[in-house]
Protein backbone atom coordinates (compact mmCIF):
# COMPACT_ATOMS: atom_id res chain seq x y z
CA UNK A 1 0.00 0.00 0.00
CA UNK A 2 1.27 3.46 -0.86
CA UNK A 3 1.79 5.86 2.02
CA UNK A 4 -0.35 8.99 1.79
CA UNK A 5 1.36 12.34 1.89
CA UNK A 6 -0.41 15.21 3.56
CA UNK A 7 -0.30 18.53 1.73
CA UNK A 8 0.64 20.24 4.97
CA UNK A 9 3.78 18.06 5.11
CA UNK A 10 5.02 19.12 1.68
CA UNK A 11 7.77 21.75 1.60
CA UNK A 12 6.73 25.19 0.39
CA UNK A 13 7.94 25.91 -3.14
CA UNK A 14 10.48 28.74 -3.25
CA UNK A 15 11.19 30.04 -6.76
CA UNK A 16 14.25 31.94 -5.53
CA UNK A 17 16.14 28.66 -5.27
CA UNK A 18 15.83 28.25 -9.04
CA UNK A 19 16.77 31.80 -10.08
CA UNK A 20 20.50 31.18 -10.15
CA UNK A 21 21.40 32.62 -13.56
CA UNK A 22 20.46 35.47 -15.88
CA UNK A 23 18.95 32.89 -18.24
CA UNK A 24 16.69 31.46 -15.52
CA UNK A 25 15.64 34.97 -14.53
CA UNK A 26 14.89 35.94 -18.13
CA UNK A 27 12.81 32.81 -18.70
CA UNK A 28 10.88 33.35 -15.46
CA UNK A 29 10.14 36.99 -16.32
CA UNK A 30 9.02 36.00 -19.82
CA UNK A 31 6.52 33.54 -18.40
CA UNK A 32 5.24 36.08 -15.87
CA UNK A 33 4.89 38.81 -18.50
CA UNK A 34 2.76 36.49 -20.63
CA UNK A 35 0.24 36.40 -17.76
CA UNK A 36 -0.39 40.14 -18.27
CA UNK A 37 -0.77 40.65 -14.52
CA UNK A 38 1.01 43.65 -12.95
CA UNK A 39 0.76 42.12 -9.47
CA UNK A 40 2.45 38.95 -10.70
CA UNK A 41 5.21 41.03 -12.31
CA UNK A 42 5.80 42.94 -9.07
CA UNK A 43 5.93 39.69 -7.12
CA UNK A 44 8.28 38.09 -9.67
CA UNK A 45 10.68 41.05 -9.60
CA UNK A 46 10.57 40.91 -5.80
CA UNK A 47 11.42 37.21 -5.80
CA UNK A 48 14.27 37.76 -8.22
CA UNK A 49 15.62 40.68 -6.18
CA UNK A 50 15.50 38.52 -3.04
CA UNK A 51 17.32 35.71 -4.86
CA UNK A 52 20.06 38.13 -5.90
CA UNK A 53 20.16 40.06 -2.64
CA UNK A 54 17.74 42.89 -2.02
CA UNK A 55 20.44 45.23 -0.70
CA UNK A 56 22.65 44.74 -3.76
CA UNK A 57 19.75 45.18 -6.20
CA UNK A 58 18.43 48.27 -4.39
CA UNK A 59 21.87 49.89 -4.58
CA UNK A 60 22.27 49.04 -8.27
CA UNK A 61 18.76 50.36 -8.97
CA UNK A 62 19.46 53.59 -7.08
CA UNK A 63 16.70 52.97 -4.54
CA UNK A 64 16.62 52.38 -0.83
CA UNK A 65 16.05 48.80 0.25
CA UNK A 66 12.77 49.79 1.91
CA UNK A 67 11.56 51.61 -1.22
CA UNK A 68 12.36 48.56 -3.32
CA UNK A 69 10.43 46.26 -0.99
CA UNK A 70 7.50 48.66 -1.10
CA UNK A 71 7.61 49.02 -4.88
CA UNK A 72 7.69 45.26 -5.46
CA UNK A 73 4.78 44.25 -3.25
CA UNK A 74 2.21 42.23 -5.21
CA UNK A 75 -0.47 44.89 -4.68
CA UNK A 76 1.77 47.86 -5.54
CA UNK A 77 1.14 50.05 -8.56
CA UNK A 78 4.39 49.21 -10.34
CA UNK A 79 5.81 52.12 -12.34
CA UNK A 80 7.71 51.56 -15.55
CA UNK A 81 10.74 53.49 -14.34
CA UNK A 82 10.94 51.11 -11.36
CA UNK A 83 10.66 48.10 -13.67
CA UNK A 84 13.43 49.52 -15.87
CA UNK A 85 15.74 50.24 -12.92
CA UNK A 86 15.22 46.82 -11.36
CA UNK A 87 15.67 44.98 -14.66
CA UNK A 88 18.90 46.87 -15.31
CA UNK A 89 20.13 46.06 -11.80
CA UNK A 90 19.28 42.39 -12.41
CA UNK A 91 21.16 42.34 -15.71
CA UNK A 92 18.09 41.66 -17.86
CA UNK A 93 16.03 43.75 -20.26
CA UNK A 94 12.54 43.54 -21.60
CA UNK A 95 12.03 42.92 -25.33
CA UNK A 96 9.06 43.63 -27.54
CA UNK A 97 7.74 41.23 -30.15
CA UNK A 98 4.72 41.09 -32.39
CA UNK A 99 1.75 39.47 -30.69
CA UNK A 100 -0.05 36.66 -32.47
Of the ranges 15-19, 59-63, 79-83, which one carries the lowest mean pLDDT score? 15-19
CA distances to 10, 11, 52, 56 from 7, rounded to whole Å, are 5, 9, 29, 35
Residue ranges of domains in the chain, CATH in brackets: 39-92 (1.10.260)
Compute the average pLDDT of residues 59-66.
Answer: 95
Q: List, for residues 9-51, the tens digit of each pLDDT value.
A: 878 878 888 888 888 888 999 999 999 888 889 989 998 999 9
| pLDDT band at residue 86 using 50, 70 and 90 as cut-offs | very high
- CA 65 to mean position of chain CA atoms: 15
Q: What is the pLDDT of residue 49?
A: 92
Residue 1 has pLDDT above 70, yes or no: no
pLDDT at residue number 100: 74
Amino acid sequence: MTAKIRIADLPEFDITEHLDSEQAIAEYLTIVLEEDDPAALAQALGCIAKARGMTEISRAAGMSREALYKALRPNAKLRFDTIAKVCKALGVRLNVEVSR
